[in-house]
């Protein structure tokens, strides 16, 4: 069959389209910045304005020690939820519900953090595990429904997002609300000291290490275990997998459950490492961002990690960009959407830069398939026609 490991050239080729997509989106974003900026005389001043905007973006993202820490801390939940979406993708499932799973994870992690009275050694693990479990249940429900009844996971996970936000609104205004007289907003009390993630360096919690560990475990499970192999089989060809004796129902439930677990962990880490409580409306936007991250990272672990750092840097730097240029920080959402469009429809990028069609790639179920999305997703047709 295929060679055991892809050569460095193939890896570079796989990274080429995302990199060009990002570059193209930044150029297009520059044009939008120019249009949205002040009226300037002549192209030089306009270019200068765009350059200043992007430099302030860069400065805001990595220009100082605090900026770097901000970016890294923001990348943590992105990485967890990006891995979550990736894992489901590999099973041929589209988890748009990372946001809801993250919300529920944060909610229950916070409850475990202030509601339980445990010794410090086990309190933190219990908090994280509670968040994981809550997220896994939230995702697993969608998986079970898909596998048993065929209810499309895109709709059920989105509905579960809305249910999660209503549930959070109810619990944070009701049973879980911080009753101290000083509190005026919908949030839980702070979690116990022993339930908090320790700092790795001042200002940066140890959740960063957890990301690395979880990324390695995820990679191992998806690409080096029987479970992962079956998952990818189901993703590549559910009928074939069933024919080969894979329990498709079980794998789909497992895939969305495990995906929810990772998203729930994202919420729990935010609670245990950053906010020390769960606050209403703090988890908005992760759903779409995590899909974008998984797609940009081409559903590979290393790709997801790189993409989450990039997205975190863009979001962190956007504040400075807005401050310096008076252009709304929402420009980042436009740039992200363009990146996503160009990654999803990579023919556009290949046409723009006169690249050859994608190299022949092995079927996604194959071990070699790590560099491409499953057949049901994205580059499927390119893979098929390029043989």
Partner 1 sequence: MTRGRFLFVLGCIAGLVGIAEALRSPDVPAAVVAASMLATTLRFATPLTLGALAGLFCERSGVANIAIEGMMLAAAFGAFIVGALTKSLAAGIVAGMVVGALMALLHAWLSVTLRVDQIVSGTVINIMAAGVTGFLSTEVVRRQAISGAGLLPAWRVPGLSEVPVIGPLFQQQPIAWVTLALVVVAHLVLFRTAWGLRVRAVGELPRAAHAAGVSVARTRYAAVMVGGAIAGIGGGYFTLEAVPVFEPMMTNGRGFIALAALIFGGWTPAGAWVASLLFAAANALHINAQQFGIPVPAQVVGMFPYVLTIVILAGAIGRVTPPAAIGQPYVRD
* Cβ 206 to partner 1 shortest distance, Å: 32
- Figure out which of the listed residues 28, 55, 68, 158 binds partner 1, where binding follows CB under 8 A: 158
- Figure out which of the listed residues 57, 84, 271, 295 binds partner 1, where binding follows CB under 8 A: 295
Closer CB to partner 1, 161 or 218, in the complex: 161
**Which H or E run contains 201?**
strand 199-201
- Figure out which of the listed residues 96, 246, 262, 266 binds partner 1, where binding follows CB under 8 A: 96
Candidates 2-10, 60-68, 107-115, 154-162 — which segment interacts with partner 1 by CB under 8 A? 154-162
Distance CA 16, CA 284 (A): 31
* 104 binds partner 1, rule: CB under 8 A: no
DSSP character for 274?
Answer: I
Residues 176, 259, 257, 129: is their CA dihedral positive or negative? negative
Q: Which residues, including other chains, have CB under 8 Å from residue 53's CB and lie 6 or more apart? A: 30, 33, 37, 321, 324, 325, 327
- Figure out which of the listed residues 125, 203, 381, 386 binds partner 1, where binding follows CB under 8 A: 381
Contact 101, 263 (CB under 8 A): yes
Binding-site size for partner 1 (CB under 8 A) equals 49
Distance CA 135, CA 115 (A): 18
Q: Which residues, including other chains, have CB under 8 Å from residue 33's CB and lie 6 or more apart? A: 49, 50, 53, 325, 327, 331
* Cβ 249 to partner 1 shortest distance, Å: 14
* Cβ 158 to partner 1 shortest distance, Å: 5
* 319 binds partner 1, rule: CB under 8 A: no
* 288 binds partner 1, rule: CB under 8 A: yes
Contact 226, 95 (CB under 8 A): no
The encoded tokens of residue 268 equal 């729990």
The encoded tokens of residue 239 equal 């009928």
Candidates 19-27, 120-128, 263-271, 338-346 — which segment interacts with partner 1 by CB under 8 A? 338-346
Q: End-to-end CA distance of the chain, in Å?
A: 15
* 81 binds partner 1, rule: CB under 8 A: no
* 185 binds partner 1, rule: CB under 8 A: no
Site for partner 1 in 14-53 (CB under 8 A): 32, 36
* CA neighbours closer than 13 Å in the CB half-sphere of residue 356: 5
Distance CA 127, CA 220 (A): 25
Candidates 17-25, 234-242, 256-264, 324-332 — which segment interacts with partner 1 by CB under 8 A? 324-332
Candidates 148-156, 217-225, 248-256, 309-317 — which segment interacts with partner 1 by CB under 8 A? 148-156
- Figure out which of the listed residues 112, 195, 305, 327 binds partner 1, where binding follows CB under 8 A: 327
Closer CB to partner 1, 95 or 204, in the complex: 95
Closer CB to partner 1, 56 or 127, in the complex: 56
Contact 297, 304 (CB under 8 A): yes
Distance CA 283, CA 134 (A): 15
* 202 binds partner 1, rule: CB under 8 A: no
* 378 binds partner 1, rule: CB under 8 A: yes
* 73 binds partner 1, rule: CB under 8 A: no
Candidates 197-205, 232-240, 266-274, 284-292 — which segment interacts with partner 1 by CB under 8 A? 284-292
Contact 361, 372 (CB under 8 A): yes
Closer CB to partner 1, 110 or 215, in the complex: 110
DSSP character for 138?
Answer: H
* 169 binds partner 1, rule: CB under 8 A: yes
* 145 binds partner 1, rule: CB under 8 A: yes
* 156 binds partner 1, rule: CB under 8 A: yes
* 151 binds partner 1, rule: CB under 8 A: yes
Give the rounded distance of the alpha carbon of 266 from its chain centre: 9
Closer CB to partner 1, 154 or 355, in the complex: 154
Contact 72, 312 (CB under 8 A): yes
**DSSP per-residue string spanning 21-76:** HHHHHHHHHHHHHHHHS---SHHHHHHHHHHHHHHHHHHHHHSSHHHHHHHHHHHH
Footprint of partner 1 on this chain (CB under 8 A)?
A: 32, 36, 94, 96, 145, 148-152, 154-156, 158-163, 166-167, 169-170, 173-174, 288, 291-292, 295, 327-328, 330-331, 333-334, 336-338, 340-341, 344-345, 347-348, 376-378, 380-381
């Amino acid at each position: 069959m295929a060679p055991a490991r892809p050569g460095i050239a193939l890896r570079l080729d796989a990274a080429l389209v995302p990199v060009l997509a990002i570059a193209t989106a930044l150029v297009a974003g520059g044009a939008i910045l120019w249009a949205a900026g002040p009226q300037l005389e002549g192209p030089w001043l306009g270019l200068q304005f765009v350059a200043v905007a992007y430099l302030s973006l860069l400065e805001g993202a990595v220009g100082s020690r605090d900026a770097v820490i901000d970016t890294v801390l923001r990348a943590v939940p992105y990485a967890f939820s990006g891995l979550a979406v990736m894992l489901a993708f590999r099973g041929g499932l589209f988890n748009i519900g990372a946001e809801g799973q993250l919300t529920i994870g944060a909610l229950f992690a916070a409850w475990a953090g202030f509601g339980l009275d445990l010794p410090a050694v086990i309190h933190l693990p219990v908090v994280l595990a509670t968040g994981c479990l809550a997220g896994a249940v939230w995702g697993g429900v969608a998986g079970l429904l898909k596998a048993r009844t065929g209810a499309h996971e895109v709709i059920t996970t989105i509905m579960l997002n809305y249910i999660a936000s209503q549930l959070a609104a109810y619990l944070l205004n009701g049973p879980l609300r911080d009753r101290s007289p000083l509190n005026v907003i919908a949030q839980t009390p702070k979690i116990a000291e022993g339930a908090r993630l320790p700092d790795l360096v001042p200002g940066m919690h140890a959740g960063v290490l957890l990301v690395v560990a979880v990324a390695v475990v995820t990679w191992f499970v998806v690409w080096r275990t029987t479970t992962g192999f079956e998952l990818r089989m189901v993703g590549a060809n559910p009928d074939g997998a069933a024919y080969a004796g894979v329990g498709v129902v079980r794998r789909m439930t497992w895939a969305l459950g495990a995906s929810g677990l990772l998203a729930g962990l994202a919420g729990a880490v935010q609670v245990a490492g950053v906010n020390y409580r769960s606050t209403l409306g703090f988890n908005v936007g992760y759903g779409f961002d995590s899909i974008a991250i998984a797609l940009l990272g081409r559903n590979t672990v290393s790709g997801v990690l790189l993409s989450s750092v990039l997205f975190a840097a863009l979001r962190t730097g956007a504040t400075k960009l807005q401050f310096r240029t008076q252009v709304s920080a929402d420009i980042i959402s436009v740039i992200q959407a363009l990146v996503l469009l160009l990654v999803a429809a990579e023919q556009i990028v290949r046409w723009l830069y006169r690249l050859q069609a994608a190299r022949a790639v092995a079927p996604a179920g194959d071990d070699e398939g790590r560099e491409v999305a499953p057949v049901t997703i994205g580059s499927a047709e390119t893979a098929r026609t390029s043989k």
